[in-house]
């Protein structure tokens, strides 16, 4: 079995990485940054985003596993003191029955530039388009029909597993990752007697798409998960549910709603 580790680079993550390499060697696992079967992310959700983008071209062949070094993460569900157990179950044929690969939907972002070229990206959490220094003005079409002229700070288009991240801060709904959908949420839209946007977030199914046509004369910031770029060459952006999926290896059940409960409510309330 081939594996790779992506860590956050802090002292705890580096120590755990070293420990995982030793455990892996004792089980005969082979370290490979070219074609790993498993990628272990050690750090937080941000580390998993880095791991995902590092292996973006091999998503079909890789199962990601996350160890969190801080508070419980959405993508990182193993604790540092479970690292030996993790290495054991990864290598135990008897545990293979308990191994479940879950596949989460992604958002595809196709950006058409002024020179007529289209570049395609995928996001694990979300894509955002935001104005820089000034209001973002952008036409939003849904399934090729004009929906609204957006004015405000920006637009966020998230995956179901990303619905608990930036989208949640924008009052978007939480979507179970078994649902193949994308969610459009507004970032501080301007609404008054002159300008009007829907104001609610919208959830599009797999066979729908939306197009954003940003006002050409303005500068904007495009973000795909933790990656940001200032652009002025964009004509339109099409978002849809990607045909690709990310695979997570689950060696024990960890239901999405339990993660939501533990992350946002916890045990200290409602006693
Ligand atoms: P980071 O690692 O500091 O992450 C920011 C926070 O988002 C962390 O607390 C992390 O645990 C949490 N997070 C990331 N993915 C999550 C998910 N799927 N569900 C629940 N929480 C999640 O910073 P980064 O590495 O730059 O991460 C980029 C992410 O930060 C973006 O993808 C975006 O979702 C998130 N973000 C959130 C806000 C906000 O909540 N207001 C604003 C900007 C970015």
Could you read off the pLDDT of 57-78 as tens digits, one per residue? 999 999 999 999 987 789 988 9
CA 56-69-63 angle, to 5 degrees, is 30
What CA–CA distances, in Å, run from 179 to 110, 175, 205, 215, 271?
A: 21, 7, 8, 32, 32
Q: Are residues 90 and 128 in the same domain?
A: no
Provide the domain count of the chain. Answer: 2
Q: Are residues 229 and 259 in the same domain?
A: no
Q: What is the mean pLDDT of residues 185-193?
A: 96
Confirm or reject: Cβ of 4 under 6 Å from ligand 1. no
pLDDT at residue 271, as a whole number: 54
Domain that holds residue 205: 106-243
pLDDT at residue 219, as a whole number: 84
pLDDT at residue 6, as a whole number: 98
72, with CB counted inside 10 A (0-12, 13-18, 19+), is middle
Catalytic one among 7, 33, 37, 45?
A: 45
pLDDT at residue 141, as a whole number: 98
Q: Please confirm, yes or no, whether 243 is among the known catalytic residues.
A: no
Q: 214 CA to middle of ligand 1, Å? A: 25
pLDDT of 259 above 60:
yes
139 vs 251, more confident: 139
pLDDT at residue 113, as a whole number: 95
pLDDT digits (tens, 9 = 90+) for 106-164: 999 999 999 999 999 999 999 999 999 899 999 999 999 999 999 999 999 999 999 99
Among 165, 187, 227, 263, say which to mutate for ligand 1: greatest number of ligand atoms within 8 Å of CB.
165
Q: Are residues 110 and 229 in the same domain?
A: yes
Q: Are residues 110 and 237 in the same domain?
A: yes
> What's the CA gap between 33 and 55, in Å, rounded?
9
Residue closest by Cα to atom 1 of ligand 1: 46
pLDDT at residue 254, as a whole number: 83
Q: Are residues 227 and 117 in the same domain?
A: yes
pLDDT of 37 above 80:
yes
Q: Are residues 239 and 256 in the same domain?
A: no
Q: Are residues 188 and 261 in the same domain?
A: no
Q: Are residues 161 and 232 in the same domain?
A: yes
Q: 177 CA to middle of ligand 1, Å? A: 17
What is the CATH number for 41? 3.40.50.10330
Q: Are residues 55 and 173 in the same domain?
A: no
């Amino acid at each position: 079995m081939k594996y790779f580790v992506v860590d956050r680079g802090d002292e705890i993550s580096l120590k755990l990485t070293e420990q995982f390499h030793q455990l892996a060697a004792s089980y005969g696992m082979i370290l490979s940054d070219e074609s790993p079967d498993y990628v272990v992310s050690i750090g937080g959700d941000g580390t998993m985003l880095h791991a995902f983008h590092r292996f973006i071209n091999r998503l079909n062949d890789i199962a990601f596993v996350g160890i969190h070094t801080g508070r419980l993460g959405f993508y990182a569900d193993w604790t540092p003191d479970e690292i030996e157990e993790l290495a054991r179950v990864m290598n135990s044929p008897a545990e293979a029955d308990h191994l479940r690969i879950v596949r989460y939907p992604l958002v595809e972002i196709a950006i058409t530039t002024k020179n007529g070229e289209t570049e395609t990206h995928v996001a694990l959490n979300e894509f955002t388009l935001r104005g820089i220094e000034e209001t973002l003005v952008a036409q939003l079409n849904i399934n090729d029909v004009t929906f609204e002229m957006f004015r405000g700070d920006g637009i966020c288009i998230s995956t179901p597993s990303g619905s608990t991240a930036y989208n949640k801060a924008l009052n978007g709904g939480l979507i179970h990752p078994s649902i193949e959908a994308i969610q459009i949420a507004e970032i501080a839209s301007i609404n008054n007697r002159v300008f009007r946007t829907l104001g609610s977030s919208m959830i599009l199914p797999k066979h729908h798409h939306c197009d954003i046509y940003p006002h050409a004369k303005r500068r904007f910031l495009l973000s795909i998960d933790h990656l940001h770029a200032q652009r002025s060459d964009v004509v339109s952006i099409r978002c849809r549910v990607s045909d690709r999926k990310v695979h997570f290896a689950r060696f024990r059940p960890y239901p999405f709603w339990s993660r939501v409960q533990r992350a946002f409510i916890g045990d200290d309330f409602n006693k």
